[in-house]
Amino acid sequence: MSIRLFAGTSYASIRSMTTPVEISAYPPDGMEVRLIERFTTLKGRRILEIGCGDGRLTFQYAPTAREILAIDPDRLSIEDALDEQAALSVRNVTFRVGSIEHLSTRGAPFDVAIFSWSL
Amino acid sequence: MVHALRRAGQRLRSGGSLISIRPHETQLPLVSIITPSRRIPVTRLPTPGFDDRQSAADAALERVVAEGRFAITGIGNHRYRSVLDNPAQLRTYLELINPPRPRFPPSRRARLLELWRSRHPASKIEIAEWIVMTALRRL
């Protein structure tokens, strides 16, 4: 399972039932991407995201990446990600249930690997 | 964890980047009450079992560097803040985190509620968190 504080990113944010304030236990959108890009560019890159959860971070950088493989062992989180992907019509992301330990060593190499709150 | 890093390295091109985003090891989440004129720190929130996981993550990163698989290209610490309207929203915030969750030390939740009851009308609850980002380059 991908984790925030080493726990899954599913249900990372919800809209409060009593107020119109959206509560999120994660950094504000865009912050992590800006920080990552201090070290490496994501634009046009082939990216492997490990511990993607429901795609909270994935969808933030997907518009600039060339291709993304995003994996998480938690099936429900991946189902949430796929629902969101369909809603957003994002075409360059492949979400997959699984862990890095079981990912095939074959295939085209990635430019960037992101351990998203999952190491 | 070290196995995960090695496997990720096998899928990265030479010169590719590996980024680790995780909570800061020593800067624990800080809960404060904020008013228009001041910030009143109430407590930090430890996470049971967190130290062991963080130590293992740090050791794994050091290990793959020592093995000559990666070189460190950068480390950065960053803070972000969430501002909440009331203690109920703080509870929701914490429940959004899958276990293990940060927890109030003994008596500190009561202290927060005590301060909240006597708050300035425009008060909010702030939770500040820190993350550490480590960047490695595959050799």
Q: Using the beta-carbon criterion (under 8 Å), do B18 and A24 form an inter-chain contact?
A: no
3-state SS class at B50: helix
Arithmetic mean of pLDDT, B87-116: 91
Per CB-CB distance under 8 Å, the chain B contacts of A110 are 11-13, 16
Q: Which amino acid is at B73?
A: T
Q: Which of A13-27, A34-48, A96-110, B71-85 has the lowest mean pLDDT?
A: A13-27
Of the pLDDT bands very low, low, confident and very high (cuts 50, 70, 90), residue B99 is: confident
Arithmetic mean of pLDDT, A80-87: 97
Q: Where are the domains of chain B?
A: 2-138
3-state SS class at A75: helix
Q: Which amino acid is at A83?
A: D
3-state SS class at A32: helix
Q: Using the beta-carbon criterion (under 8 Å), do A39 and B73 form an inter-chain contact?
A: yes
The residues with which B86 forms a beta bridge, in sequence order, are: none
DSSP secondary structure letters along B83-131:
EESSHHHHHHHHHTSPSSPP-PPTTHHHHHHHHHHT--TT-EEEEEEEE
Q: Where are the domains of chain A?
A: 13-115
Q: Using the beta-carbon criterion (under 8 Å), do B74 and A38 form an inter-chain contact?
A: yes
Chain B residue with CA closest to A8: the answer is B98
- Least CB–CB distance from A110: residue in B13, B20, B78: B13
Tell me the CATH architecture of domain A13-115: 3-Layer(aba) Sandwich (3.40)
What is the structure's pLDDT at A47?
97
